[in-house]
Structure 1
Amino acid sequence: MLDSALMAARQMFSPEFRAVLLKSLGLTLLALALGWIGLQALIDHLLTLEPGYLRSGAQILSGLGLAFGLVFLITPVTAAVAGLFLDDVAAVVERTHYPADAPGVAPPTLRGALMSARFGALVLAVNVAMLPLLFFPGVNVAAWALVNAYLLSREYFTLAALRFRPEGEAAALRRRHRWRVFAAGLVAAALALAPLANLLTPLFATAFFVHLHKKIAADDARRLARRPAPERLGAS
């Protein structure tokens, strides 16, 4: 797993990734800025405290709270935006590191867009639901890391696997290696906790899980080949 993470990290700023990286970062920053402006405008509109100094103080506090809260929402925002480019990233990784293998096939455009939207909405809903944990230092970070490790590992492994196998087979493969996949999700979640680096999480996670899926699929094939013939027939 470590070598998969290192290969993904080394490729992040390669020429092949550069165009996708810049587009993803630009759209993510734009979405976060628009969200900030919109939410701050809504808060300002709702605040009707008098006298003026109370209103100003409340606006400052709400702005600080909003900034802190947005830190926890960067993951769903980047996931939703980068979902537009993840198949391009997966194709680059496969072409660069596995040229002898048959290339993966991206899901149909509409299906891919729906999967990205669904994942972004799920991560957003879960992270919003965990916002009250901000008042419990230590617990909030641990809970956030564990939950997002599960969500990230499930989504990105599935994305990598669906390029080579039907949805049912992809889910079965993930379940057979659930702890290995979850451990990889912890690596992606740890990156998502780092300021600024968290903007790169979707691209890194895509490359990382493409490598991981390749290794897990190869391990599964070797294990199946070692089984007696009747067992192989039953497994298939």
Structure 2
Amino acid sequence: MISALGKAFAQLSDPRVRRVLWWSLALALVIFIALWSGLGFLVTSGGDWLAAFVESAGWGDPWASIADWFATLGGFLLLVVVSFLVFPGVVSMIVPLFLDQVAEAVEERHYPGLPPARKQPYGEMIGDAVKLGLVTVALNLAALPFYLIFLFIPGLNLVLFYLLNGYLFGREYFELVAVRRMDHPSLKQLFREKRGTFMLAGALITFLFTIPIINLTAPLVGAAFMLHLFQRETGKRRGT
């Protein structure tokens, strides 16, 4: 598995993969600017509303200013936490749109004897992108109360984060890679047989998302990494 991860990182030297990386980062930046603008508006509006409420209760200054300050601080911290939780999902949402280019670069370099892969229709790629992103974001936001509760039990929130996202990324990245060369019943059977391997791979991809700078490359490295594991497991089946 470490060898497969090393090969995935080495693939970043490929000009085609670097081009995909810049495009994916640009799209992710646009999405996050929209997200931050929306959350910033909500935070500002919430602070103004709380200050007005305090004033209407007859407390006046300095309590209204203090309430506004606390609302702004709380909103900023919430923005940071939400950004951390949704970052993997938002960035991974872009991966299916460029997956063929990354997969072809990996296969040409490491598996030149493979027959051509199935070309995914754009509608299917967009559907996979939306599903991967929304499921990851939704489940992490749903788990937010538990992350906060587990702050009082050191390390437990991280265990939950890695278990949840390890399963999500293990399953979703595997399906993104496998659907190019397998029908759905066959890929689901392979995932059931090797669930532990692919979930561990998902946890490693999740870990990459938590490392600054490295997390910018995590979706593409994760896709290449999963492709190597997929080829290893299907190679075992073929006896090669």
TM-score normalised to the size of structure 2?
0.87
Which runs of 5 or more structure 1 residues have no equivalent in the other structure? 224-236
The equivalent residue for 1:85 is: 98
Matches within 5 A, 1:199-210: 199-210=216-227
Task: Identify which of 159, 165, 169 aligns with 1:148.
Answer: 165
- 1:180 offset after TM fit, Å? 1.5
- 1:91 offset after TM fit, Å? 1.5
Structure-2 separation of matches of 1:114 and 1:18: 24
The equivalent residue for 1:198 is: 215
Q: Does 1:70 align with 2:83?
A: yes
Structure 1 residue ranges (4+ consecutive) displaced by more than 4 angstroms after TM superposition: none
Task: Please give the secondary structure, in 1, of the residue aligned with 2:236.
Answer: helix
- Contact 1:105/1:164 (CA < 8 Å) preserved in 2? yes
Structure-2 separation of matches of 1:217 and 1:58: 54
The equivalent residue for 2:58 is: none
- 1:103 offset after TM fit, Å? 2.7
The equivalent residue for 1:230 is: none
Aligned residues: 223
User: Percent identity over the alignment?
Assistant: 31
Which runs of 5 or more structure 2 residues have no equivalent in the other structure? 52-63
The equivalent residue for 2:140 is: 127
Task: Identify which of 199, 217, 229 aligns with 1:212.
Answer: 229
Structure-2 separation of matches of 1:148 and 1:13: 27
The equivalent residue for 1:234 is: none
The equivalent residue for 2:15 is: 15
- 1:67 offset after TM fit, Å? 1.2
Structure-2 separation of matches of 1:3 and 1:103: 25
CA RMSD of aligned residues (A): 1.6
Structure-2 separation of matches of 1:38 and 1:49: 18
- 1:198 offset after TM fit, Å? 2.0
- Contact 1:74/1:199 (CA < 8 Å) preserved in 2? no
User: What code does the residue aligned with 2:90 have?
Assistant: V
- 1:46 offset after TM fit, Å? 2.7
TM-score normalised to the size of structure 1?
0.88
